[in-house]
Amino acid sequence: MTLLRALAEGALDDPDAIRVGDTAMSGPELLGAAAVVADQIRERSDDNPVAVLAEPTAQTVVGMVGGLLAGVPVVPVPPDTGPGERGHVIADSGATLWIGDRPHDVALPSRKIDLNRRSGDVAREAPNDGPALVLYTSGTTGAPKGVLLSRRAMAAGLDGLADAWDWTAQDTLAHGLPLFHVHGLVLGVFGALRIGSPLVHVGRPKPSAYAAAVRDHGATLLFGVPTIWSRIAADPEAAAALRPARLLVSGSAPLPVSVFEQLRELTGQAPVERYGMSETMITLSVRADGERRPGWVGVPVAGVETRLASTDEEDEGELLPHDGETIGELQLRGPGLFDGYLGRPEATAATWTPDRWFRTGDAAVIDEGGYHRIVGRRSVDLIKTGGYRVGAGEIETALLEHEGIREAAVVGEPDNDLGQRIVAHVVLAGDPVDPEEVIAFVADRLSAHKRPREVRVVDALPRNAMGKVQKARLS
């Protein structure tokens, strides 16, 4: 099973084919440097995972590819992880070697990466198809869990996206995403090395850097999270520079409707939204030739099936209609799913229904045409108030239409009368706002039972590295 097919076949032979920050290399140069890392990994007496410091550098890309060549699981470690979480990841994964610059608190033996060294061996991916990556989740419900992804699953997910986005070797991919998640690492690096499209990692994801990727390197396919796209939309000159690009892809968190519309106006095209998880790869996407609706994440990619199921105690598991209105838990199956959580069989078993559909834990609606809209996490974004089921995302969208509000996050809090009351946390765009006026503003746009009962002004919303709001930290 070859994941990095184009790289293995000698594609990407231009000296500037793979650019990460200020460092550029060809595919054969990357393969040769990664083979040195693979040799160092094979020198050990065990086949345990290796931890790679996942900074946005060429060394990180070489280290990740080296792990795939060696055939051992690779554990990407975020560079901003504190000692406590880093220690948990190392201990939980069973990693016995550290690749890259080693933090002072890490006791593992380490190997540095020299971009100028080459191995004399012919570099090929190891033939086994055991877990290739161990990606650690954000840990919103406890200590982070290790998600086991095989090369076969990653390849299936990437091939589905290549079909959906018409992604070919004629594209040049550019982004500034972290290299320790599915979005930035699997799609943003392994995708390019599988499909054969040149890669430009811009380093810090500034609007000017995205504009330069299009202007100076001919980028046609751009990946970003909503925070990045929001900053680009606020920089009309940088946004206008993206007009020659073929596809703007947004994911990892909901894209505000206002940003969607600004991008459409400034770049000449609406962005493509998609949905996925560490456990599933990307399972839903708007197709390159499909309708682009703000707030909707499209249809299943090739090989993926979806359904909605009730989570109410009295009819749990009952399948729900695809009518564009009914909210249920999104469940799916397909070839890109994970192999389980490392060392946690009970947690793994809990993610599957008795008939072997994966329970995403996300609340969604599906319309008659198969388009999906993600309401949010079932645990925090599906609010049951006064007998109604309300999606937090719909209220957040209405709040962001208020000219005085720049960011919004809605949660349900316990209420003796309503069961849960709707509470909005907002970051202001400038001058103070009247909370009662904001409540009335939402009530005018949505049903009265969907209005916030309380509006709390905050300086900032807590977010993780991918820009997702961490609602468990709101109180």
- Measured CA angle at 223 (ends 217, 227), to 5 deg: 120
DSSP states along 365-381: EE-TTS-EEEEEEHHHH
In contact, 1 and 152? CB cutoff 8 Å = yes
Q: What is the pLDDT of residue 292?
A: 95
User: Can you tell me the distance from the alpha carbon of 48 to that of 73, in angstroms, rounded to the nearest whole number?
Assistant: 7
Cα 424 to Cα 406: distance, rounded to the nearest angstrom: 13
**Residues 332-359: pLDDT tens digits?**
999 999 999 999 999 999 999 999 999 9
To the nearest 10 degrees (0 to 180), the angle between helices 226-233 and 257-267 is 50
User: Which residue in 65, 275, 266, 239 sits closest to 161, CA to CA?
Assistant: 275
Q: Given this model, what pLDDT does residue 113 score? A: 93
Q: Report pLDDT for 144.
A: 82
Reference 184, options 330, 272, 64; nearest CA is 64
CATH 3.40.50.12780 domain extents, the chain: 5-203
Helix (H) or strand (E) holding 256: none
Token digits of residue 291 = 């309708």
With beta carbons less than 8 A apart as the criterion, state whether 153 and 361 touch.
no
Residue intervals of the chain classified under CATH 2.30.38.10 are 271-378
| Amino acid 196: pLDDT | 97
Write down the CATH number for the domain with range 5-203: 3.40.50.12780
Of the CA atoms within 13 Å of residue 290, those in its CB half-sphere come to: 26
Give start-end residues of each CATH 3.30.300.30 domain in the chain: 386-473
- Residue by residue, pLDDT tens for the chain (475 residues) are 789 999 999 999 999 999 999 999 999 999 999 999 999 999 987 889 999 999 999 999 999 999 999 999 999 998 888 888 889 899 999 999 999 989 889 999 999 999 998 886 767 887 767 899 999 986 545 678 999 999 999 999 999 999 999 999 999 999 999 999 899 999 999 999 999 999 999 999 999 999 999 999 999 999 998 889 989 999 999 999 999 999 999 998 788 888 999 999 999 999 999 999 999 999 999 999 999 999 899 999 999 999 999 977 667 779 999 999 898 999 999 999 999 999 999 999 999 999 999 999 898 999 999 999 998 777 667 787 876 778 787 788 889 889 999 999 998 888 877 878 999 999 999 899 999 999 999 988 887 888 999 999 999 998 876 667 888 788 6
Six-digit token pair at 122? 């012919």
Predicted confidence (pLDDT) per residue in 360-414, tens digit = 989 899 999 999 999 877 766 778 787 677 878 778 888 988 999 999 999 888 8
- Residue carrying the six token digits 């650690």: 136
What SS3 string covers 107-174?
A: CCCEECCCCCCCCCCCCCCCCCCCEEEEEECCCCCCCCCEEEEEHHHHHHHHHHHHHHHCCCCCCCEE
Per-residue model confidence (pLDDT) at position 315: 73
| Distance (Å, whole) CA 258 – CA 235 | 14
Answer whether CATH 3.40.1280.10 is correct for domain 386-473: no
Q: What is the pLDDT of residue 140?
A: 47
What CATH number matches the domain at 271-378, 1.10.3720.10, 3.30.70.260, 3.40.50.1580, 2.30.38.10?
Answer: 2.30.38.10
